[in-house]
Amino acid sequence: MELALLGLLLLVVLMLALVLLLPNVVRYSEKIVVNAPIAEVYDNIRLQERLMSWSAWPEATGSTCSLENADGTVGARTVFFNQGKRFGHQEIIDLKPNQKVSLTLVNSGPLKHTPYLDFDLRALAKDQTEVTLNFVNTYQKPFQVPAKLLGIVKWTRALQVKDLEGLKTYSELQRAV
C-alpha cells in the first residue's frame, strides 16, 4: 500500500514538473521556394477557396469546409465541419498585399490553445517566390503536456510542411495551365 502511494505521489510530482518546465509556446518556421510570381502565390494563400484546394488539413482531419464572409479579405473564415458538425475555423486577421497573410485558428477540441500562422512572401525573381510559414501556438497550462506527449505538435508541423508542398504544387500547376 505504501509503495502504491509513493508511486502515485511520484507520478503527480512528475506531471507537475512537466507542466511547470515544458514550454507552453510552440514556435517554428518552415520555408519553400515556389516557381510562380509573388502576386499569384499571395492570392493562392489569401483566397480561402484556393487555399482549401491545396491544404493538407481537410484530408488529414476528415473534415469538410465552407467559407464565411468575403473571401480573401480580413475576417474571411474557412469553417471546418466533421460529420456535419462545426468544430472550428481559420480566419484571416491581417493582409499585406504580396507580402503577408496572417491567420488565426479556433477549434472546439479539448486542448486549450491559440494558434497563429503567418505566410511571409519574398520575391526571389520575377517568377519565383520564397514562402516562409511562421507558426506560434500558445497552450494554456497544462494542455501543452498532452500536446507534446501525444505527438500533436510534431503532427501539426508535418502537416504544415505538407501544406507548403501543396501550395508549391498548386501554384506551379496553375502556371502550367
pLDDT score recorded for residue 111? 75
Q: CA 52: distance to chain centroid?
A: 13
pLDDT score recorded for residue 96? 98
Q: How many whole angstroms separate alpha carbon 90 and alpha carbon 82?
A: 15
Q: In the chain, count of helices (H) and strands (E)?
A: 6, 7
pLDDT score recorded for residue 110? 75
Enumerate residues 6+ apart whose C-beta is below 8 A from 12.
none
As a 3-state breakdown, the chain gives helix, strand, coil percent values, each rounded to 5, of 40, 35, 20
Q: How many whole angstroms separate alpha carbon 146 and alpha carbon 140?
A: 11
pLDDT score recorded for residue 19? 56
CB 24 within 8 A of CB 119: no
Q: What is the pTM of this model?
A: 0.86
Backbone angles phi, psi at 109, to 5 degrees: -70, 175
Q: Give the DSSP H/E element, type plus range, for residue 68.
A: strand 64-68
Digit-by-digit pLDDT tens for the chain (177 residues) are: 787 776 777 776 676 666 566 678 899 999 999 999 999 999 999 999 999 999 998 998 889 999 999 999 999 999 999 898 998 899 999 999 999 999 999 887 777 888 999 999 999 999 999 999 999 998 888 877 878 878 888 999 999 999 999 999 999 998 776
For residue 41 the three cell numbers come to: 502565390
Instruction: Tell the burial category of 10 from Cβ atoms under 10 Å away from its Cβ (0-12, 13-18, 19+).
Output: exposed
pLDDT score recorded for residue 13? 64
CB 136 within 8 A of CB 25: yes
Domains assigned to the chain: 23-176 (3.30.530.20)
